[in-house]
Amino acid sequence: MPIAQLITELETIAQAQNGLNGLMYGEPFDINNQRNKDYPLLFIDRNVRIEGMNLKTRQRVYQLKLSFFDRYTRPDETALASENKQRDLEVLAEQFLHEFKERYKANGYPWKIENEEKVVGNWQYRKHQDRLIELNYTVLIRCQGECLAGTFNYPTL
């Protein structure tokens, strides 16, 4: 499965999820540059890392950074509002990740969340010019590759 198809699947899930109002795929600085954004927003960092490739099975493991953003204004900085904002964003993120996992299981798609028993998240506050709260996850996804080995034709000398 090429990275483009994997991103398309993530976009399909994000567009279908209630409560998630925006989606971006790009560079982290794009959060500041794009004017028309609706929050909460899923941001997929396009700086994807190939964590490993198995030449025997033709599988690769992608490391994706998924960030869930929402506005974090001055009134939100009170303790109760901050806790509510965190809870709501955590629920959205968990719903998204569970749907991604279930979509694989139900439809037999050629991917698997490699670290599904321990997906690590990280909170950040007052990010970017929009004063955002961010919950980001690093997810390892194992995909079946499409490489056909041994198809080269070498000239005889």
pLDDT, tens digit (0-9, with 9 covering 90-100), for 114-135: 887 888 888 887 666 667 888 9
The answer to whether the beta carbons of residues 31 and 128 sit under 8 Å apart is yes
3-class DSSP state for residue 24?
strand
pLDDT, tens digit (0-9, with 9 covering 90-100), for 4-19: 888 888 899 999 999 9
The strand pairing partners of 85, in sequence order, are: none
**How much is the average pLDDT of 25-47?**
84
- Report the interhelical angle of 79-107 vs 3-16 (nearest 10°): 120
Q: What percent of the chain has pLDDT over 90?
A: 18
Q: What is the pTM of this model?
A: 0.81
**How much is the average pLDDT of 62-80?**
81
Q: Which residue has the tokens 């929402």?
A: 70
Written as six digits, the tokens of 40 are 């909460």
The answer to whether the beta carbons of residues 51 and 63 sit under 8 Å apart is yes
Which CATH entry fits the domain spanning 3-144: 1.20.950, 3.30.2000, 3.30.450, 3.40.50? 3.30.2000
| pLDDT computed for residue 148 by the predictor | 63
**Domain positions in the chain:** 3-144
Q: Which residue has the tokens 């396009």?
A: 46
**Does the pLDDT value for residue 55 go beyond 80?**
no
**Does the pLDDT value for residue 95 go beyond 90?**
yes
Contacts of 106 (CB under 8 A, 6+ apart): none
